[in-house]
Amino acid sequence: MKETLEQIKTLAISELDDVRDANALDAWRVKYLGKKGELTVLLKQMGKLSAEERPIMGQLANEVREVLIEKMDAQKQCMEESSLNARLVDETLDVTIPGKSVTLGHQHPMYVVLDELKEIFIGMGFECLDGPEVELAEYNFDKLNAEEGHPSRDWSDTFYFDKDSHVMLRSQTSPMQIRAMETRPLPIRIISPGRVYRKDEVDATHSPMFHQVEGLVVDRDITMADLKGTLNTVVEKLYGKGTKTRFRPHHFPFTEPSCEMDVQCHKCGGIGCPTCKGEGWIELLGAGMVHPKVLEGCGIDTEVYSGWAFGIGLERTAMRRFKIADLRLIFENDVRFLAQF
């Protein structure tokens, strides 16, 4: 029996050496120390021994048991340590390695100009409205006094969605004048920036999609002097104090009288140079007093109220502001270009 005990001990210890995980360790424990384990089975046979042998063997068996328990605990601790070490090695983080540099973008030059415009107008008490790019011809043309047959309504100029020319991509932000007058209480002071679409070939100064900012004021006693005063203030804020403007007569169906506003060329100061094509002036925007027909169409009493409106091209304004020669650069999103602003 003593030999059997020794055998069990030797075998158990050598098997324990191969144990690598908690499951295997548990299986080992059951096999050698469990209720039906080899040691227990052996101890149950003690009854067969003589009275002298029994206590000696009992003591020996207990010693073996204790040794095995001790070894089992040691193995358990050893396994825990090595798994901790493996994790520590695995999850090493070298905080001294230089990080990947993140390239930060910045605002697009056209949005710089848009934000400046918004700030100027909001500072003067205007509200900023958003409007639909898919628009009804009724709002883009009819209600703006551009009747059937007006050249801008032609299929060669405008993107229509249907054969009957009812639904279209707006060709100007001016329909927002109507939408504002139809839905808002008087007085009205709004600007409305957004994309507009025309069937133009792409070149250095044209694109089938571009941006405008519409402006509209409707109140009592509004005159052309308010239009000129406000727009002159805006131009000085945008291009610097003392920037000269001039107002030329023009025609738009929805304003009467209508005008275009030019700014004196920043390059030559009005003498004439390639930038202003020898004119000394650069066209900036279209404007005018809101046509009484348009006001009346929106249910506004023209005996009491009058208004003025303007429309400014954002790309052109940004091009002038940052001296960009080609419109296409604004849309190409080439970072070598954009990084310059």
Chain contacts with ligand PHE (rule: CB under 6 A): 172, 174, 252, 255, 286-288, 309-311
What's the token pair of residue 130? Answer: 């958003």
Least Å from the CB of residue 107 to ligand PHE: 25
Q: Which residue is nearest to ligand PHE (CB)?
A: 311
Q: Which is nearer to ligand PHE, 174 or 317 (CB)?
A: 174
Instruction: Classify the C-alpha dihedral 263-267-271-273 as positive or negative.
Output: negative
Least Å from the CB of residue 171 to ligand PHE: 7
The crossing angle, in degrees rounded to 10, of helices 2-18 and 22-33 is 170
Instruction: Classify the C-alpha dihedral 214-215-218-222 as positive or negative.
Output: negative
Q: Which is nearer to ligand PHE, 75 or 306 (CB)?
A: 306
Q: Which is nearer to ligand PHE, 116 or 256 (CB)?
A: 256
Least Å from the CB of residue 294 to ligand PHE: 10
* Phi and psi angles of residue 122, each rounded to the nearest 5 degrees, phi first: -65, -35
How far apart CA 196 and CA 213 sit, in angstroms, is 10
Cβ neighbours around 47 below 10 Å, total: 7
Least Å from the CB of residue 128 to ligand PHE: 16
How far apart CA 141 and CA 153 sit, in angstroms, is 7
Strand pairing class (188-197; 255-264): unpaired
Q: Which is nearer to ligand PHE, 37 or 286 (CB)?
A: 286
Q: Which is nearer to ligand PHE, 16 or 227 (CB)?
A: 227
Cβ neighbours around 281 below 10 Å, total: 19
Q: Which is nearer to ligand PHE, 252 or 281 (CB)?
A: 252
How far apart CA 153 and CA 69 sit, in angstroms, is 96
What's the token pair of residue 193? Answer: 């920036």
Least Å from the CB of residue 198 to ligand PHE: 9
How far apart CA 134 and CA 114 sit, in angstroms, is 21
Identify the CA nearest to 178 among candidates 288, 74, 87, 290: 290
Q: Which is nearer to ligand PHE, 55 or 208 (CB)?
A: 208
Asked if the bond preceding 257 is cis, omega within 30° of 0, the reply is yes
Residues facing 160 on adjacent strands: 168
Q: Which is nearer to ligand PHE, 37 or 131 (CB)?
A: 131
How far apart CA 175 and CA 131 sit, in angstroms, is 9
Q: Which is nearer to ligand PHE, 172 or 317 (CB)?
A: 172
Least Å from the CB of residue 266 to ligand PHE: 22
Least Å from the CB of residue 339 to ligand PHE: 32
Least Å from the CB of residue 312 to ligand PHE: 8
Cβ neighbours around 176 below 10 Å, total: 28
How far apart CA 248 and CA 282 sit, in angstroms, is 12
Identify the CA nearest to 314 among candidates 305, 304, 324, 306: 324
Least Å from the CB of residue 298 to ligand PHE: 15
